[in-house]
Structure 1
Amino acid sequence: MVAAPFSPLGSLSAFESYDETPHIGRFGTRFSNKSVQLSRLLTAPNSDELIKDLATLVSHRGVVFFIDQDIDIEQQKELGARLGELAGKPATSKLHIHPISEQTPELTADVSVISSEGGIARNGYSRSARASNGWHTDITFEPIPSDYAILKLHTLPAVGGDTLWASGYEAYDKLSPAYQRFLEGLTALHDGSGFREGIKYAKETNKVINSPRGSPQNTGTRLQAVHPVIRTHPVTGFKSLFVNRGFTTRITELTDDESDDVLAYLFRHVSENHDMQVRFHWSKNDIAIWDNRCTFHTATNDYESLRQGNRVVSLGEKPYFDPGSVSRRRALGLDSPNTLSTMK
């Protein structure tokens, strides 16, 4: 007899869904029927159960997609807050406020406008640079970084503008046991210097620099934090690679040359292993919910017309590494005795 595969769907198993990738670990899940509306999950009699199970699903699968959603911005913010709260995040962690987000009559500062017209969506983008330079994990320059993020796109180009995600769990599991042991316990500096020009401009034009930013620990304009290179996910208990090309600048325990070499390898490890990635082609009003503790993502800048939507980013806990935690493959019994990742 063969054991039934593990499913984190819980109460969400009542809704039609399918896995975006067939490889071990099942990265990415899509609820393909637009009758599954997040707005209804928020008001259902068993709403807490549904949203807690959704948080668990996102933490296991990395990213979850919902089609043609009617959820409004206030509901999107409510969902962003409740996902982390029901999954057990600290009470001091709220929705993130971007350092240079402005409050407008339409949107509050805890909503980021993702727009091809500029701002954080194309921060540092250069057409002549490699597309792989865009891989990142949201706001890891904060001492208390993100757990869940929710993006709804309402304006799209006719062609292009896909988003890719990669699995931090699988990135860890694809490393050799010796390399895993080398990385475990190391820490890395994450730096948001790419946003400092925006902060400088804001100061020069007498605009407010947001502080604190959703947590009492996310303050000031330094935009730097040190986090473990391998972190333990508090919901799944799995080990995940936690460095990213967008914000990680050096491994603190190594020399500059050593750090540059290790980070260059790890950045390629994420961007070049397409078997641990999922690519999503957006339609109007689709929503993606992902877990920043165990994923990386990048937009595909292959379009000319307007691409725009709203993103809500929730804050989680201070990242940590538990030496007693395990890899996803080992925890789910997915490796055979002859594979490298069990030889630890």
Structure 2
Amino acid sequence: MVSSTPNGTNDASPHGPFNNGIPTSCPSCPTPLKYSGSLDHLPFFEITPIIGREYPTVKLTDILNAPNAKEQIRDFAIIISERGVVFFRDQHDLGIEEQKRFCDLVARYSGRPEENGLHVHPIFRDPGNLKLPDGSSDENIYVINTAAQKKIYATMPNRAPLTEEPKDLSREWHSDSTFEAHPSDFSMLKMLETPPHGGDTLWASGYEVYDRISPSFRTYLETLTATCAQPVFRSAARAGGYDVMSPRGSPGNVGDGFAPVHPVVRTNRVTGWKAVFAGAGLHVSGINGVYGAEDRVIREFVLGLVMRNHDVVARMRWTRDAVAVWNNSCVWHAATPDTHLVEGNRVGVRASSIGEVPFLDPGSVSRREALGLPRF
């Protein structure tokens, strides 16, 4: 919680003009993109009517090597941004360099700021971080492993103690690198090892959460910002005796402050649609300019919309060498922490691009409005 008094503002964001501290324009971002049709020949199916798509036979290496690769990758950026998350199976030939290249190009061809690139994880230097399968390491690849993460993040404040009560899995929801001034736009995760079952990942549509809110209340939410503090990286680095990485995918992501201010509602630069962004989740430490009780009510309300409306969620049942690519500007995601109940390991490699400072264009519309869909 940043302010204990109402009506506080924060103008820390480097872009303008501002509405109550929220950037209302992004000069470096393009107008919403239009799909060209270059992917129409590829078979796919939607995961739900609201969120998610799977291309069951597409090989991403074929897309990277296609004569019209730029057009196809740009169209994939649009599809990912409209559907929130897209799944691909059996990407055994997609190496680390190809994964980094695809993630980078999806963001670059869809209007990412030119000076930005792939994210560098703040605690890449931590000795507890796992190596890649070949024994090497890459500052643009984050190796996901539950056992290693528990050790690295042992310094996390207010870490839930062991109790006889079940876990509150709502704490798992987040968007990648919201703790950065320039957070991630696209993330790409490939699963290298999977247990026989369990360890699924879920994505929730921030577009649809916005559409489930009454017009008067979402107008109010559009005036709010949230502080996204994540001091665990600084404390982990101090405990390990190393410096956090800096810069981290953008000249604006430097130092070890890790407490930027972001709009609760933002506009997706690719689609031009509004989504609830910093209204809830693991990295959101408080809504600015409201009392403590109001902060709790707002965050619990936003998160409750995901909990009460399971049709806003897409679920990935991971298989070996499967890939998910998502747009953090319009979805949250959460891993399912149940793999301790089965034998086997869950290891993945993730690349993330760094996008623009989140902004809210007052002329943008909701997803349902843009597509002419009924409100409910």
Q: TM-score, length-normalised on structure 1?
A: 0.89
Contact 1:115 1:121 (C-alpha < 8 Å) held by counterparts: no
Contact 2:87 2:322 (C-alpha < 8 Å) held by counterparts: yes
The answer as to 2:365 corresponding to 1:326 is yes
Query: Are the structure 2 counterparts of residues 176 and 27 from structure 1 closer, same or farther at C-alpha, using a change threshold of 3 Å?
Result: same
Runs of at least 5 residues in structure 1 that lack an aligned partner in the other structure: 1-6
Match of 2:88 in 1: 66
- Cα deviation 1:303-344 (Å, max 9, x = unaligned): 123100100010011100111110110111002xxx58xxxx
Query: Are the structure 2 counterparts of residues 28 and 161 from structure 1 closer, same or farther at C-alpha, using a change threshold of 3 Å?
Result: same
Match of 1:149 in 2: 187
Match of 2:199 in 1: 161
- Cα deviation 1:110-152 (Å, max 9, x = unaligned): 1100112222899557774212211111110100000000000
Query: Are the structure 2 counterparts of residues 122 and 60 from structure 1 closer, same or farther at C-alpha, using a change threshold of 3 Å?
Result: farther
Runs of at least 5 residues in structure 2 that lack an aligned partner in the other structure: 1-33, 154-158
Query: Are the structure 2 counterparts of residues 271 and 106 from structure 1 closer, same or farther at C-alpha, using a change threshold of 3 Å?
Result: farther
Matching residue within 107, 110, 118 for 1:84: 107
Query: Are the structure 2 counterparts of residues 308 and 121 from structure 1 closer, same or farther at C-alpha, using a change threshold of 3 Å?
Result: farther
Query: Are the structure 2 counterparts of residues 302 and 322 from structure 1 closer, same or farther at C-alpha, using a change threshold of 3 Å?
Result: same
The answer as to 2:248 corresponding to 1:226 is no
Contact 1:116 1:122 (C-alpha < 8 Å) held by counterparts: no
Match of 1:116 in 2: 146
The AA in structure 2 aligned to 1:101 is: F
Match of 2:272 in 1: 237
Matching residue within 207, 210, 225 for 1:187: 225
Matching residue within 100, 115, 122 for 1:99: 122
- Cα deviation 1:259-282 (Å, max 9, x = unaligned): 122112112222332110011101
The AA in structure 2 aligned to 1:63 is: V
Query: Are the structure 2 counterparts of residues 126 and 308 from structure 1 closer, same or farther at C-alpha, using a change threshold of 3 Å?
Result: farther
The AA in structure 2 aligned to 1:334 is: L
The AA in structure 1 aligned to 2:47 is: E
- Cα deviation 1:126-181 (Å, max 9, x = unaligned): 77421221111111010000000000001011111110000000010001111111
The answer as to 2:349 corresponding to 1:313 is no
Q: Distance in 2 between matches of 1:210 and 1:157?
A: 32
Aligned length: 323
Match of 2:19 in 1: none
Match of 2:323 in 1: 287
Match of 2:312 in 1: 276
Q: Distance in 1 between matches of 2:229 and 2:64?
A: 35
Q: Distance in 2 between matches of 1:66 and 1:143?
A: 30
Contact 1:9 1:54 (C-alpha < 8 Å) held by counterparts: no
- Cα deviation 1:217-267 (Å, max 9, x = unaligned): 101111110011100111100000012320111111212221122112112
Match of 1:248 in 2: 284
The AA in structure 2 aligned to 1:238 is: W
Q: Distance in 2 between matches of 1:188 and 1:172?
A: 16
The answer as to 2:41 corresponding to 1:41 is no
**CA-CA distance at 1:185 after TM superposition:** 2.1
- Cα deviation 1:70-115 (Å, max 9, x = unaligned): 2100010111111111001101111001110139662211110011
The answer as to 2:296 corresponding to 1:260 is yes
Match of 1:11 in 2: 38
Contact 1:164 1:297 (C-alpha < 8 Å) held by counterparts: yes
The AA in structure 2 aligned to 1:219 is: V
- Cα deviation 1:173-196 (Å, max 9, x = unaligned): 001111111101211100112333
The AA in structure 1 aligned to 2:329 is: R
Q: Distance in 2 between matches of 1:62 and 1:276?
A: 11
User: Identity, % of aligned pairs?
Assistant: 40
Q: Distance in 2 between matches of 1:121 and 1:288?
A: 26
Match of 1:21 in 2: 48
**Partner SS, residue 40 of structure 2:** helix
Q: Distance in 2 between matches of 1:122 and 1:55?
A: 33
Query: Are the structure 2 counterparts of residues 125 and 108 from structure 1 closer, same or farther at C-alpha, using a change threshold of 3 Å?
Result: farther
Match of 1:199 in 2: 237
